[in-house]
Amino acid sequence: MEAPIGVQQAIKGIWITIALSTLAALSNIWLKEITPGYFVAVIFAYALYCIFPYKLRKGSNPARWVYAAQAGISFLILLGGVIDQTPKLDLIASIIMVPIEIFVLYRLFQQDASVWFASK
């Protein structure tokens, strides 16, 4: 059974956030805002993050909840003011991604998506 359109849109949104984050990291290393070691760690984290779209497409309900928890923690960190040492491009990308993340979470937890995840 194909994923509902809302889940498909959420997965596209996640890919957009991964792409924006990766572009910000590439720009930061090019502008020498971050160290090469930090860059490698960030890219590795984004590579791991690519598991979410894959698992969500397969209908993994635990992946949906882990993604939601991770997004919530990210929002709290952004609102909590841990932005003093954050490179400017990362901060801009994070602010741009907030509405995308809200859309993703909305689509992942709509009724049809919840029914689909429960059936898997």
Is the pLDDT higher at 81 or at 16? Answer: 16
Task: Count how many domains the chain has.
Answer: 1
Looking at residue 59, the DSSP 8-state letter turns out to be T
Spatial distance between the Cα atoms of 77 and 59, rounded to a whole number of angstroms: 28
Work out the pLDDT band at 1, boundaries 50, 70, 90. Answer: confident
Asked if residues 3 and 97 have their Cβ atoms less than 8 Å apart, the reply is: no
Spatial distance between the Cα atoms of 56 and 106, rounded to a whole number of angstroms: 14
Asked if residues 60 and 120 have their Cβ atoms less than 8 Å apart, the reply is: yes
Q: What are phi and psi of 62, to 5 degrees?
A: -60, -35
pLDDT value for 81: 64
Is the pLDDT higher at 74 or at 57? Answer: 57
Work out the pLDDT band at 15, boundaries 50, 70, 90. Answer: very high
Query: Mean pLDDT across the stretch 83-104?
Result: 85
User: With a threshold of 0.85, does the pTM exceed it?
Assistant: yes
Task: Please write the tens of the pLDDT for every residue from 31-58.
Answer: 998 899 999 999 999 999 999 999 999 9
